[in-house]
Amino acid sequence: GIQVEQSPPDLILQEGANSTLRCNFSDSVNNLQWFHQNPWGQLINLFYIPSGTKQNGRLSATTVATERYSLLYISSSQTTDSGVYFCAVTGNTPLVFGKGTRLSVIA
């Protein structure tokens, strides 16, 4: 099945800093989503981005499907950005999640 690798596994940022999270996947995909699991455990959909670039406020994402990777950019990070960021992909299988990047933003 599809393998999804996320890096880095852990990231600590000072409030106001920028960061880039990476997601590599092993096969062609029809769907790629980025999620944020907040400290309360809720899984929030950030982007549906099988290809191209999208922006939503301080967050943006780029997927290069031909090279099998996606990037999530967080600019001017805030403490409320803390949590785990998951990348999930699907080809002909149900959505497969990576292990996540745990982000801690400190004031």
Partner 1 sequence: EAGVTQFPSHSVIEKGQTVTLRCDPISGHDNLYWYRRVMGKEIKFLLHFVKESKQDESGMPNNRFLAERTGGTYSTLKVQPAELEDSGVYFCASSRDRGATLHFGNGTRLTVT
Which of 13, 88 has the CB closer to partner 1? 88
Closest CB to partner 1 among residues 65, 76: 65
The helix or strand, by DSSP H or E, that contains position 26, with its residue range, turns out to be none
Please report how close the Cβ of residue 67 comes to partner 1 at its closest, in angstroms.
Answer: 21
Query: Nearest 10 degrees: CA dihedral of 22, 28, 34, 37?
Result: -90
| AA letter at 39 | P
Binding site for partner 1 (CB under 8 A): 30-31, 33, 35, 41-45, 48, 86, 88, 90, 94-100
Report the nearest approach of partner 1 to the CB of residue 22 (Å): 17
Taking the complex as a whole, how short is the minimal distance between the CB of residue 50 and partner 1, in angstroms?
A: 9
Q: How far is the CB of 95 from partner 1 (least distance, A)?
A: 6
The 8-class DSSP code of residue 87 comes to: E
For residues 37 and 75, which CB has a smaller minimum distance to partner 1 in the complex? 37
Specify the pairing of strand 4-7 against strand 19-25: antiparallel
| DSSP 3-state of 66 | helix
